[in-house]
Amino acid sequence: RKSILITFDDGYLDNWVYAHPILQKYGMRAVVFLVTGWMGQGEVRPHAGQQGAALPPTPDHRGCEDAIFRLDRADEVMMRWSEARAAIAAGTFEMHCHTHTHTRWLRREISREEKCAGIRDDLVRAREELRRELGEASDTLCWPYGDFDEDYVRIARELGFRYLHTTHPFGRNLVGGDPEHIYRFAIRNRPAKWLRKRIASSYNPVIAPLFNRFKAHRRGMVAGP
C-alpha cells in the first residue's frame, strides 16, 4: 500500500498554530523533529483551530533564525514543551530527535575527536530532554541541515538510533531499504499541483530512478534507488 510521511524540522511555533489544527481536521498525524535546546516552558498558546482566538505571530524561516541566533528569543518562534505534549495527546504529531543544539559539526574547524564528542553529546542531551519532557525518546532522528558522515551514523547507531532521516531528496524509500538513510523532499511554497506530480513521480518505478539520477547529477550528489 502506498503511503507518505509528513515531517517538520526544528519544531517551530507555526507547526502548533497552523499545522496542528489542519492535521486534526483531516485525522492525520505528522512527525516533528525537535531541536530540544530551543524548546522552552510556558502555557499552551492558541492555535488556528480555536475560533476567535488571538494567534501569536509566526515569522518566516529567516525571522525564526533571527529570533533564535541574534535576539535570543527562541520562545517566541518555537513550540513549547507544553504544546508538544498537547499535540501528542491530540494525535496530530509524533516528536523525534533533531539533536539538542542543531550544530553543523562537519563545518566546525575542530579535530575528528572533538567532532565525534560534539555529535555524541548533542544526541545524548537531546534524548535526555525528550525523556524528561515527553516521557520517552524514540530510535528515530533527523540530521540538522542534512549534514552527516560515517562518524555521525556510527555514533547514532551506538546510541540506539535506527531510523536516520536525511534532507536528500533524490531517492526512494523502498521496502527493505536502508533505514539509516531515509530520503525526504521539501515542499516549500509550492502549489498543490506540483506536490501531486512530485509524489507520483517519486513512486513510479521507471520515472523515479531516472529523475533522481538526473537531478542528483546536476547538484553533484549521488542518487538513491
Residue type, 100: H
CA 67 to chain centre: 19
Give the separation between CA 4 and CA 153, rounded to whole angstroms: 24
74 belongs to a structural domain: yes
pLDDT beyond 80 at 2: no
192 belongs to a structural domain: no
211 belongs to a structural domain: no
182 belongs to a structural domain: no
Which has the minimum average pLDDT: 68-72, 139-143, 199-203?
A: 199-203
Dihedral of CA 148/165/171/6: which sign?
A: negative
Q: How are strands ordered across the β-sheet holding 163-165?
A: 7-10, 30-34, 93-97, 140-142, 163-165
Give the separation between CA 77 and CA 54, rounded to whole angstroms: 16
If you average pLDDT over residues 207-221, what whole number do you get? 88
pTM over 0.85: yes
If you average pLDDT over residues 19-27, what whole number do you get? 98
21 belongs to a structural domain: yes
The domain tally of the chain equals 1
148 belongs to a structural domain: yes
Q: What's the CATH number where 151 sits? A: 3.20.20.370
150 belongs to a structural domain: yes
212 belongs to a structural domain: no
Domain that holds residue 29: 7-167
> Which of 121, 118, 122 is CA-nearest to residue 142?
122
28-57 pLDDT, tens digit per residue, is: 999 999 999 999 999 999 999 999 999 999
